[in-house]
Amino acid sequence: MNKIIILLLLSLSLTMCFAQKPNPEIKKKGLSGNPIFEGWYADPEGTIYGKEYWVFPTLSDVYGDYKPIEEKDLTARQKLTINKDYLKQTYLDAFSSKDLVTWKKHSHVLDIKDISWAAFAIWAPATMHANGKYYLFFGANDIQSDKEYGGIGVAVSDKPEGPYKDALGKPLIDKFHNGAQPIDQFVFRDDDGQFYIYYGGWRHCNMAKLSNDLLSIVPFSDGTSFKEITPEQYVEGPFMIKRNGKYYLMWSEGGWTGPNYSVAYAMADSPYGPFKRIGKILQQDPKVATGAGHHSVIHIPGTDDWIIVYHRRPLGDKNGNHRETCMDKLVFNPDGTIQPVKVTFEGVVKKKIQNNFKK
Rounded Cα distance, 208 and 132, in Å = 23
Count how many Cα atoms sit within 13 Å of the Cα of residue 229 in the half-sphere of its side chain: 29
Q: Is 38 a catalytic residue?
A: no
Phi, psi of 146 (to 5 degrees): -70, -10
Helices (H), 19-57: 24-28
Expressed in angstroms, the distance from the first to the final Cα of the chain is 58
Contact status, residue 324 vs residue 41, Cβ threshold 8 Å: yes
Kind of pairing between the strands at 324-330 and 306-314: antiparallel
Contact status, residue 238 vs residue 199, Cβ threshold 8 Å: yes
Q: Is 236 a catalytic residue?
A: yes
Give residues with Cβ within 8 angstroms of 193, minimum separation 6: 212
Point out the catalytic residue in the list 142, 184, 236, 317. 236
Contact status, residue 184 vs residue 237, Cβ threshold 8 Å: yes
CA dihedral 110→136→125→303, nearest 10 degrees, is: -130
Point out the catalytic residue in the list 43, 45, 93, 324. 43
Per DSSP, 349 falls in state: B
Per DSSP, 86 falls in state: G
Rounded Cα distance, 239 and 284, in Å = 19
Phi, psi of 73 (to 5 degrees): -95, -5
Helices (H), the chain: 2-18, 24-28
Rounded Cα distance, 94 and 103, in Å = 10
Q: Across-strand partners of 285?
A: 289
Q: Cβ-count burial of 109 within 10 angstroms (0-12 exposed, 13-18 middle, 19+ buried)?
A: buried
Kind of pairing between the strands at 91-97 and 104-111: antiparallel
Query: Would you name the residues annotated as active-site residues?
Result: 43, 236
